Amino acid sequence: MKKPELDQLIDNKEDFCKWSPETRQALRELADQYDEEMRQVNRDLGIEDDGEVPIDQPKASVSTAEVIDKFLASKRIRVKETSVRSYGETLRTFARHYPTLPTDPEPIEEYLARYGNENTTAKNVYRVLVLLYQFSSKRLGLPNPMTKVEKPGGKAKPPEHLNTTQARALIDAIQNDRERGLVYCFLGLGLRLSEARRLRVADIGEDIIQIHGKERDEPMPLISEIREALLKLTEGKQPQAYVFSGRNGQPLAASMIQIIIKQLFQRAGIRGVRSSPHTLRHSRGVITNIAGLDSFSSRRLLRHTDTSMTDRYSALNLDELRAKEEKYNPLRVLSKQTELGKTQYFAQSSSDIVSHDPAELLTELLDRLIALGQMAQQLSHALGGNGHRPEQAAQLIDELAKR
């Protein structure tokens, strides 16, 4: 077989990927042998090597960590530091799997396949890897296998959330201050995982908390329950220390936070819902909407980055947001429902029920019937026993309305 024919075989990805790994490796070794023999012939003839490297062959083994460090350093010039940190977290996981930078598409495809049906995560990782390899190709002259890797397809799953019963069960399952702090950050404040990890002691104010978001840093309202829970985690720490920190003083590892949340879900008996900080963040939005918070305020408090909402957001100042947060924060909504003996079930929409198990649905229905019975008893008691006499009830309600 001649060298051009061999190159054509290797470059034909559709056929090349059908062969066994052993066959693919044998072809690559044969191509290497051809190249080495050609270089030897050139040396014997006194012809200098032009330095050109075939696109699928690296100049030498390159440390993935070193390339990542150079890539991140170049991004700091024009990209926000929070984005650089996000790139770093994604790429260092990649480096742990591949200490030597892969220059063939197959290892990268295998790595992306690890994320399975988590299409959004796979797409994000793919996007960052594209940036890394574009940099390494232009700056370091290394091959760019991402040109041969297809972007992960499929539609992302709709965000999952807890219903109010599950959210209360999760809070009841909390066993220590760190668990409470994390749950209050994700469910109570709607923080993203990266935002919780970046939270420092100095960010916690009297009724304001400084959040280091994806696109910008901004102050947001802070209710007393969450403030007290976070302050318990800051005792003995310096102002610039992280609220959630590991033994080395650095932010608590994302994987450790994921494990803590997963254990909480298991302890609370929550099944059929993805156990993640983002599920709790989305649950905040759902619970506040059910409680009556308008969508504009909800999106503002969740700090969505949709630029089309900027003008609408500007109409809501911090004082107005604080008033809405005091009233609609999920921790207070859930607490109020508990104090009323779950009598606010009637206000929940059918979208708040995520189970399709008949046994679970029957339990939910019975709970709501009981809650309605309790509400009727409380209303009758509030009306002085006159709930069965419409004219007296109407008169009493009118009197109450005037107060």
**Which of 246, 119, 230 lies closest to 183, judged by CA?**
230
> Which of 1.10.760.10, 2.170.150.20, 1.20.1250.20, 1.10.443.10 would CATH assign to domain 164-352?
1.10.443.10
pLDDT at 213: 81
Q: What is the pLDDT of residue 216?
A: 78
Report which DSSP code applies to 398: H
Residue 71 structure tokens: 């890539």
Identify the H or E element spanning 5. Answer: helix 3-11
pLDDT at 221: 93
Instruction: Give the C-alpha separation, 70 to 139, whole Å.
Output: 9
Q: What does 102-161 look like in DSSP terms, one character per residue?
A: P-SHHHHHHHHHTTTT-HHHHHHHHHHHHHHHHHHHHHH----GGGGSPPP-SPPPPPP-
Tokens of 271: 């099944």
C-alpha 367/C-alpha 369 separation (Å) is: 6
pLDDT at 89: 87
Residues 6+ apart with CB under 8 A from 339: none
pLDDT in tens, the chain (403 residues): 555 555 555 555 455 455 566 665 666 666 666 666 666 655 555 554 544 444 444 445 889 999 999 999 998 887 777 788 889 989 999 999 999 999 999 999 999 988 875 666 788 899 999 999 999 999 999 999 999 999 887 665 677 889 999 999 999 999 999 999 999 999 999 999 989 999 999 999 999 999 988 777 889 999 999 999 999 999 999 999 999 998 889 999 988 999 999 999 999 999 999 899 999 999 998 898 888 888 888 888 888 765 444 344 344 577 888 888 888 899 988 887 655 444 443 344 444 444 555 655 665 565 555 555 545 555 555 555 444 455 655 666 666 655 5
Question: Do the Cβ atoms of 196 and 258 come closer than 8 Å?
Answer: no
Architecture of domain 64-148: Orthogonal Bundle (1.10)
Predicted local distance difference test score (pLDDT) of residue 352: 46
